[in-house]
Structure 1
Amino acid sequence: MNSGHGCSSKSSSQAIICRAAVCWGAEELLRMEEIEVEPPRSSEVRVKMLCASICHTDLQRWKGLPRSRALFPIVLGHEGVGIVESMGEGVTKLKEGDLVIPTFIGECQECTNCLSGMTNICENYPVNRNGLMPDQSSRMYVRGQRLYHVFTCSTWSEYTVMNVNYVTKMDPRVPLPHASLISCGFSTGFGATWKEANIEKGSTVAVFGLGGVGLGVIGGARMRGASKIIGVDLAENKEEKGKFFGMTDFIKPGGSRKSISQEIKEMTRGMGVDYSFECTGVEPLINEALQSTVVGRGVTIAFGLGDKGTAPISLIALISGRTLKGSTFGGIKPQTDLPTIIEKCINKELQLDALVSHEVQLEDINQAFELLKQPDSLKVIIQITKSLNY
């Protein structure tokens, strides 16, 4: 058995001792622990993590939400990028040394859903919410105690094991922080503009919440040729970020006695927008997003889960001919669609440096949680390996 952080094993039959940020209970400070990461089993790869980032879903898991799925102790993190250190049996599309990112849904390209062309929710490799690998076991232990995974990832660790069906090969020309960002958040918003909404040139768009997902929507809407892109956020500093990615108008809620949907309608000659995207999960905003769209044909895409996981919906808004559609990963199929986003990063059509507001080392992970509370905070990059020259 190897020991010490930053270690590696050329044999997939050996366990590795490395460092990880472990959450032992809801809203408790994460503790750096030496954990044991088992070798990969069939159809699995063990990955040496290079860097990671924080997504809102990680914060929910840290808070113990949803309550019915609170799992501790757990290694958080599902955005990131790393290199394949070893492989289990049956892995044919990857090799040791490949750069990879995790995806929280898979794509078998064989099931009814994958073949339908109507959804990215794979029947064989769906979102895994029980904190274990597909075979219902863990690959991480601390002092003999089982650790739960986030989805099939757990990227806030120097090493982790992933099922190969939840891994996408990454082109090394993409900067590592950018690779981490497109493994979930930004891609979710960007992809939804063509996979879920199929925004037409000249369309009008409203985006509720200008975090990583919302800015992804703005960037995608701009590339799709939207004529008006209205961003909505409580933080005034998000206006500059939104405009960088292509936003044309900005609303800070509370600035007037009018509702957000009323303000949006005034900006669109009383009609409302063609498409709205709700990226926060804040309960009242679901209906505001729905009511901000044009009667008879407006479409609202909802990503956010919120703390409760439920929200009341205005039936009047729905029966007026509007459509409310939920979305996972922006409708993106990891193997089929992510290469399009990767190529846009390589061609510098997507400039993702503007998404990064802070960087921390893995051992300073708790500082990252504090940074996220700051008004200027957007995406925090976590450097897992001291040297990113892999």
Structure 2
Amino acid sequence: MNPYSKTIQCRAAICFAPNQPLFVKTIEVDPPKDNEVRVKIFANSICHSDINCCTGVYSFIKYPIIPGHEAAGIVESVGKNVSSVVVGDNVLLLVMSYCGLCLLCKNAKTNFCIKQRLVHTTMTDKTTRFKFNGQPVYHLFGISSLSEYTVVDEAQVIKIDQKARLDRVCLMACGFPTGYGAVVKVAKVEPLSMVGVWGLGAVGLAAIYGASKCGASIIIGVDIKEEKKEIAFKFGCTHFLNPTNSETTIKEAIKSITNGFGLDYALECVGSANVVEEAIECTSAYGSIVVVGSTRRDDSFSISPNVFLSGKKLTGALVGGYKSKLEIPNLVAEYVEGKIDIEPFFTGNVDLIRINEAFEELKNGNALRTVIKM
């Protein structure tokens, strides 16, 4: 541990209650405990999950809380027993934990880990590392990167190539791999496949980009915002459907485009049970549906099990199914080598003090990813 590590005062964006603006306040950030790392955050990209955290979508959230989870920075100090990073390393923060030791980490079929903090608002010892006016401030996903400094478990941080731009590679923490991996790793889309993607935010566009890289012959983007059409085609979309501006149902339109067969692969990137049900109806007898968007806990749909007797498959994944510490560095390397182009995903840069503007732009569909410079 850095012997000079001590409590730090810094700025952070705090959500004090659901559906309220965020406030940038000066907080205290404690030193890292055993197996923890304190990181100086350089850049965040804002994700819809951050908005969900602040609007009451997630039932596990406690307030006040610091959102933010797509982030990159530099290691400021480390706790005892930390061996994978050292002070001064450029690092990416990871939504999906990877301790490498538990049964989940050792199982190739999942990217979950026993140390996962997805539905917890504290560190593993059930305390927080943030305080405001002497009171605890809670963590989102074990990360809370909309703070100039944050503390994370070693299982949620990975050293990255020094050549990777921190204000770009932050997207590799969640948004890009979530959509891209759903196509290339989970669905395993083959050349000439017919693919449909519902929801054309950054995650959905990453799925379209992945389908294009896989050589899909038909890539149908579905979104209620007509202005998404132009950008979807730039990412590789071949057809665009707007359910609010169509003379036929989405199912009928997709059947027509696919010569009556339906989709080989359907990616649900909205976070709606109704859309999952529609995606199931739009796939072929042997098609695969991948649930990518997270819904409210009480959101559900009803469907006959007989639908799956023909070989149709329904699955899902978080962060593209990637085992974070093992596989995300490969995506970062592909970005550094120019094999993956993530530049089109970035639509703005603002200071932390303008965080509410960035949230509104994303809510309204006017931005893909806005970088928050810390």
Q: TM-score when scaled to structure 2? A: 0.95
Provide the C-alpha distance between the structure 1 equivalents of 2:250 and 2:155, rounded to a whole number of angstroms.
41
Provide the C-alpha distance between the structure 2 equivalents of 1:107 and 1:70, rounded to a whole number of angstroms.
22
Contact in 1 for aligned 2:120/2:142 (Cα 8 Å): no
Per the alignment, in what secondary structure is the counterpart of residue 131 of structure 2?
strand
Contact in 2 for aligned 1:66/1:309 (Cα 8 Å): no
2:109 counterpart (118, 121, 140) = 118
Equivalent residue number for residue 252 of structure 1:
242
Per the alignment, in what secondary structure is the counterpart of residue 66 of structure 1?
coil
**CA distance 1:221–1:371, change in 2 (3 Å):** same
Provide the C-alpha distance between the structure 2 equivalents of 1:241 and 1:125, rounded to a whole number of angstroms.
38
Equivalent residue number for residue 19 of structure 2:
27
The worse-fitting range, judged by mean Cα deviation, of 310-319 and 79-88 is 310-319
Are residues 1:300 and 2:289 paired? yes
Q: CA deviation at 1:319?
A: 4.3
Contact in 2 for aligned 1:207/1:214 (Cα 8 Å): yes
Contact in 2 for aligned 1:53/1:80 (Cα 8 Å): yes
Provide the C-alpha distance between the structure 1 equivalents of 2:95 and 2:150, rounded to a whole number of angstroms.
14
Deviations 1:192-245 (A, max 9, x none): 222211111221110001111111111111222212111111222222222222
Contact in 1 for aligned 2:61/2:121 (Cα 8 Å): no
Equivalent residue number for residue 224 of structure 1:
214
The worse-fitting range, judged by mean Cα deviation, of 324-333 and 148-157 is 324-333
2:92 counterpart (77, 101, 106) = 101
Equivalent residue number for residue 80 of structure 2:
89
Provide the C-alpha distance between the structure 2 equivalents of 1:377 and 1:161, rounded to a whole number of angstroms.
28
1:143 counterpart (95, 119, 133) = 133
Deviations 1:2-50 (A, max 9, x none): xxxxxxx964531001111111101111111110000001111100001
Per the alignment, in what secondary structure is the counterpart of residue 325 of structure 2?
coil
**CA distance 1:50–1:11, change in 2 (3 Å):** farther
Contact in 2 for aligned 1:52/1:81 (Cα 8 Å): yes
Contact in 2 for aligned 1:105/1:125 (Cα 8 Å): no
How large is the RMSD of aligned CA atoms in angstroms?
1.7
Report the AA paired with residue 292 of structure 1.
C
Provide the C-alpha distance between the structure 2 equivalents of 1:300 and 1:343, rounded to a whole number of angstroms.
29
For 1:227-306, what aligned pairs fall within 5 Å after superposition?
Answer: 227-295=217-285, 297-306=286-295
Q: Which runs of 5+ in 1 are unaligned?
A: 1-8, 385-390
Q: Which runs of 5+ in 2 are unaligned?
A: none
Provide the C-alpha distance between the structure 1 equivalents of 2:237 and 2:334, rounded to a whole number of angstroms.
19
Per the alignment, in what secondary structure is the counterpart of residue 349 of structure 2?
strand
Are residues 1:42 and 2:42 paired? no
Equivalent residue number for residue 299 of structure 2:
310
Provide the C-alpha distance between the structure 1 equivalents of 2:58 and 2:317, rounded to a whole number of angstroms.
18
Deviations 1:317-344 (A, max 9, x none): 4445321112111101111211221122
Contact in 1 for aligned 2:85/2:158 (Cα 8 Å): no
Q: CA deviation at 1:290?
A: 1.0
Contact in 2 for aligned 1:12/1:88 (Cα 8 Å): no
Provide the C-alpha distance between the structure 1 equivalents of 2:330 and 2:216, rounded to a whole number of angstroms.
19
Q: TM-score when scaled to structure 1? A: 0.91
Provide the C-alpha distance between the structure 1 equivalents of 2:345 and 2:261, rounded to a whole number of angstroms.
32
Deviations 1:238-279 (A, max 9, x none): 222222222111111122232212211111011011100000
**CA distance 1:239–1:348, change in 2 (3 Å):** farther
1:55 counterpart (47, 54, 63) = 47
Contact in 1 for aligned 2:251/2:282 (Cα 8 Å): yes
Provide the C-alpha distance between the structure 2 equivalents of 1:338 and 1:50, rounded to a whole number of angstroms.
19
Q: CA deviation at 1:357?
A: 1.6
Provide the C-alpha distance between the structure 2 equivalents of 1:376 and 1:261, rounded to a whole number of angstroms.
27
Provide the C-alpha distance between the structure 1 equivalents of 2:3 and 2:354, rounded to a whole number of angstroms.
31
Deviations 1:29-73 (A, max 9, x none): 111111000000111110000110211111111012223x13100
Provide the C-alpha distance between the structure 2 equivalents of 1:165 and 1:373, rounded to a whole number of angstroms.
31
Are residues 1:191 and 2:181 paired? yes
Q: CA deviation at 1:349?
A: 2.2
Per the alignment, in what secondary structure is the counterpart of residue 274 of structure 1?
strand
Contact in 1 for aligned 2:48/2:362 (Cα 8 Å): no
| Percentage identity across paired residues of the two chains | 37
Provide the C-alpha distance between the structure 2 equivalents of 1:217 and 1:25, rounded to a whole number of angstroms.
33
How many pairs are equivalent?
Answer: 373
**CA distance 1:308–1:106, change in 2 (3 Å):** closer
Are residues 1:132 and 2:122 paired? yes
For 1:300-379, what aligned pairs fall within 5 Å after superposition?
Answer: 300-315=289-304, 317-379=307-369
Q: CA deviation at 1:162?
A: 0.6
Provide the C-alpha distance between the structure 2 equivalents of 1:373 and 1:148, rounded to a whole number of angstroms.
23
Higher relative contact order (CA 8 A, sep 6+): 2
Report the AA paired with residue 44 of structure 2.
A
Per the alignment, in what secondary structure is the counterpart of residue 182 of structure 2?
helix
